[in-house]
Amino acid sequence: MKKLINLLSILTILAFILTLNPAAILAQGEVTCEQDYVVQGDDTLSKIADKFLGDVLAYQAIADATNMKTAADSSYSKIDDVNLIEPGWKLCVPSAEQAGALMSAGAPAAAAMPEKQYTVALAYGVKNDGFYITMEKGAKAMADKLGMNFMADGPEQFDATLQTPIVDAMIAKGIDALLIAATDKQAMVEPMKRAADAGIKVISVDTFVGDGDYVKGPVTFPLSYIGSDNVLGGKIACDALIESIGGTGKIYIQNVKPGISTTDQRQQGCEEAIAATGGAVTLVGVDFNGDSSAVAAEQTAAVLQREPDLSAVFGTNLFSARGAAQAVDNAGLAGVVKVANFDAPEAAIEDLRNGIVDMVIAQKPGDIGAIAVNYAYMALTGRETAIAPRVPTGYVVITRDNVDTPEAQGAIYKSSTAPEAAAMPEKQYTVALAYGVKNDGFYITMEKGAKAMADKLGMNFMADGPEQFDATLQTPIVDAMIAKGIDALLIAATDKQAMVEPMKRAADAGIKVISVDTFVGDGDYVKGPVTFPLSYIGSDNVLGGKIACDALIESIGGTGKIYIQNVKPGISTTDQRQQGCEEAIAATGGAVTLVGVDFNGDSSAVAAEQTAAVLQREPDLSAVFGTNLFSARGAAQAVDNAGLAGVVKVANFDAPEAAIEDLRNGIVDMVIAQKPGDIGTVAVDYAYKALTGRETAIAPRVPTGYVVITRDNVDTPEAQGAIYKSK
């Protein structure tokens, strides 16, 4: 009996605890509606939350309560996206107490639609080639990380007539992205174009079509060409051969067939190395083996008969070098006739160890596959600006002196796609986001995007920022992150000069540094005064400022007075937005004048005071441009307080929920929405690339674009998706 009483007591206590636990409310579905509400034509969840709960941020509680009621009562409407509700929908408005419980429980966002599971296909050059097997392994591993379906296939021989039906079959299966090692740079253009015309993202791996210049060349529809710098690789291989034969002698090239972009370029690089000797070394011939090591062996044997004093052979790919090495070995000339092998399968490494070949040029096919899948994901999720049109993935030169080093061992091509029993677990990197200021919808949305990508890539993630947009407050946060031993720092620098030194301390500690939203120096990390950050990822702010003020100028009939509300001098982004607006005003030739620029220190209260003063001084003011959220919010408040909403036009550069409410209510007339979620996503992705040795896939500047939101388009999916999140 005592045990029963104890059990009942425990159950009673647990039940009581559950009633106090907001998460339990969610789990049990014990939500009650303070009232039901039917959505009207101009409603948003934020507006409804403000009306009934007095808090625009309680929109999520209404969504969660409604969805919980939907499970038992189909008369309630299921909310899949908090930005999209329809007139006539029945919603459950919970009590203020339950709304607070739902919000504090951190319920999963009803708007979080499952990401589409994309399918990426790799059409490699030929079956059973260690290079392509290793590429497939790298591609598959990245596809698994990113939650993508993956398939791979290729022909029995390196032949366009055999590869074309494979590509067509992949198109017919409805793939989303095609990664292809084209077997002919002309013949494969049309099959690849059919894929692009079907809306499939096309990326070249290892080989290219046309001339490989997908920006200015004859073929521009592929998004990127990812592969080694083959001219340089061929030159390095033959420079080493020339050195090994004492700078004089005869070299023979074993190639595959004309028209293959990669091996054509390797031959070119070798010929350049030979030409640079000024006749001391001569090229005795080039043969094409059709990607057959047996043919290569026969051809090399014939050359050895014809040129008994042959000094060296350069094999432009695996089968070429393997066949040539076999012929040299059969002739008893191993070590006498030097052989360089461009590709690093396990068999080539055995030949290196046994003295049959003298050096092996290892490409990085695993990296090629991984980057290609990653680029496909970026393209499919609307982030094409993060894709470089050309990514040279580099190589490792393996000799008998370095063959047992970790770098050389890691570069050897695999003979099977099966997981390796001895594979070391990948290091779990830590990436930190130092945003510009707390409680800003822009940075909250950036953090959400960054965290989601960090989770996908298996990275630890942390984020922090100052209470005010101030370098003196951000610096100790950065120093604390450095002290915690982070691997990568993503930073929205609060001053383009003052934050250089703290960021440099991170870089000097071996931390990968990437600028997000704002930059340091002049933002040119290739030729500018500050070059240690790997990339600057953010909007084109001059253009954004110009677009905003062009729209304002049009809205005031092309004549009048404009006032700019800015944050403070020295912030790269808002400086540029002001610059863009001033350029738009200057372009009117005096029809529109700039009556002043004020700096509010990132305080909407100060912005409101300053704007009110300008309205007193300039009673015929036509428009105000707010360069960020707090600037525009303060300006809009002053305009509204003066009873001039709709008379004095206001453009807001940033799209938090409050700005969208202002837009709907006629207080502001347009909102320029950046893409902070994309900025965070791309930055984490770039950090991962840098930490895994793939820095060549990182563009030094990534303009992430923006969405212009007006009252005419505010309810479109594109505009709704661009609104910044408040939590």
Q: In the chain, what are the domain boundaries?
A: 2-104, 119-228+366-394, 230-363, 430-534, 541-674
pTM here? Answer: 0.71
Mean pLDDT, to the nearest integer, of 350-363? 88
Of the chain, the percentage scoring pLDDT greater than 90 comes to 65
pLDDT at position 406 is 83
Which pLDDT value is given to residue 457? 94
Give the model's pLDDT for residue 573. 84
CA distance 707 to 308: 70
- The pLDDT, as a whole number, for residue 83 is 67
Among 326, 248, 232, smallest CA distance to 281 is for 248
Give 351: exposed, middle or buried? Use CB within 10 Å, 0-12, 13-18, 19+: buried
458-471 tens-digit pLDDT: 999 999 999 999 99
What is residue 5's predicted lDDT score, i.e. its pLDDT?
Answer: 40
- pLDDT band, very low/low/confident/very high, at 106 (cuts 50, 70, 90): very low
- Sorted by sequence, the CB contacts under 8 Å of residue 467 that are 6+ apart come out as 437, 438, 473
Tokens 């094999």 belong to: 315
Mean pLDDT of 642-653: 93
pLDDT band at 115 (very low <50, low <70, confident <90, very high): low
CB atoms within 10 A of CB 658: 22
Distance (Å, whole) CA 694 – CA 366: 11
- CA separation (Å) from 7 to 17, 18, 340? 15, 16, 79
Cβ contact 50:60 at 8 Å: no
Average pLDDT over residues 647-672: 89
Report the alpha-carbon distance of residue 135 to residue 141 in Å, rounded.
10
Whole-number pLDDT of residue 420? 62
Phi-psi region of 570 (alpha: psi -120 to 50; beta: other; left: phi over 0): left
Judged against a pLDDT cut of 90, whether residue 377 lies above it is answered with yes
Sequence-ordered list of residues with C-beta below 8 angstroms from that of 422, at least 6 positions apart, any chain: none
Q: Where does 541-674 sit in CATH, by number? A: 3.40.50.2300
The encoded tokens of residue 618 equal: 């300039």
Task: Tell me: pLDDT of 417 over 60.
Answer: yes
* Residue at 29: amino acid letter: G
Q: Please write the tens of the pLDDT for every residue from 225-281.
A: 999 888 989 998 999 899 999 999 999 999 999 988 889 999 999 999 999 999 999
| Encoded amino acid at 678, one letter | D
Taking residues 47-76, what's their average pLDDT?
A: 82
Look up residue 714 and give its amino acid: V
**Distance (Å, whole) CA 534 – CA 700:** 6
**pLDDT > 60? residue 604:** yes
- Express each pLDDT in 275-334 by its tens digit: 999 999 999 999 999 999 999 999 999 999 999 999 999 999 888 998 999 999 999 998
The conformational region for residue 382 under phi > 0 = left, psi -120 to 50 = alpha, else beta, is: left
The domain made up of 430-534 has a fold known as Rossmann fold (3.40.50)
CA distance 478 to 434: 7
Cα–Cα distance for residue pair 145/60, rounded to 1 Å: 30
Q: Which residue has the higher pLDDT, 318 or 671?
A: 671
Of 16-30, 110-124, 712-726, the least confident: 16-30
Q: Report d(CA 248, CA 338) in Å as an integer.
A: 13
Distance CA 362, CA 341 (A): 9
Q: Do 568 and 577 contact (CB within 8 A), yes or no?
A: no
Q: Cα 305 from chain centroid?
A: 55
Q: Inter-axis angle of helices 441-457 and 676-691, to 10 degrees?
A: 40
Give residue-wise pLDDT tens across range 435-459. 999 988 889 999 999 999 999 999 9
CA distances (Å), origin 665, targets 132, 711, 719? 58, 9, 16
Which of residues 214 and 426 earns the better pLDDT score?
214
pLDDT, tens only, 508-564: 999 999 999 999 999 999 999 999 999 999 988 898 999 899 989 999 999 999 999
Torsion of CA 105, 106, 107, 113, to 10 degrees: 180
Burial class (CB in 10 A: 0-12, 13-18, 19+), 71: exposed
Look up the CATH architecture of domain 119-228+366-394.
3-Layer(aba) Sandwich (3.40)
Structure tokens at 442: 């822009």
One-letter amino acid of 242: I
User: What is the average pLDDT across 99-111?
Assistant: 58
Amino acid 458: pLDDT:
94
368 phi, psi to nearest 5 deg: -55, -45
**CATH topology agreement for domains 119-228+366-394 and 230-363:** yes
Residue 351 amino acid letter: D
CA–CA distances in Å: residue 706 to residues 493, 545, 639, 678: 20, 11, 26, 10
Q: Give the start-end residues of each E strand in 135-264.
A: 149-153, 177-180, 201-205, 225-227, 249-255
Query: Each residue of 470-491: pLDDT tens digit?
Result: 999 999 999 999 999 999 999 9
CB 261 within 8 A of CB 229: no
Beta strands (DSSP E) in 655-703 are 670-674, 701-703
Closest CA to 498 of 572, 396, 412, 441: 572
Distances in Å between the Cα of 682 and the Cα atoms of 385, 386, 451, 512 are 10, 7, 11, 14
Report the chain's terminal Cα–Cα distance, integer Å.
Answer: 50
Task: Assign residue 592 a region (left: φ > 0; alpha: ψ between -120 and 50; beta: otherwise).
Answer: beta
- Give the side-chain half-sphere CA count within 13 A for 431: 32
H-type alpha helices, 556-627: 572-586, 604-617
Better-scored residue on pLDDT, 408 or 161? 161
- Cα–Cα distance, 557 to 650 (Å, whole number): 14
Residue owning tokens 């210049």: 213
Which of 77-86, 232-241, 378-387 is least confident? Answer: 77-86
Task: Mention the CATH class of domain 230-363.
Answer: alpha beta
User: Is the CB of residue 324 less than 8 Å from the CB of residue 254?
Assistant: yes
Identify whether the C-beta of residue 176 lies closer than 8 Å to the C-beta of residue 118.
yes
The tokens describing 452, both together, are 């989601």
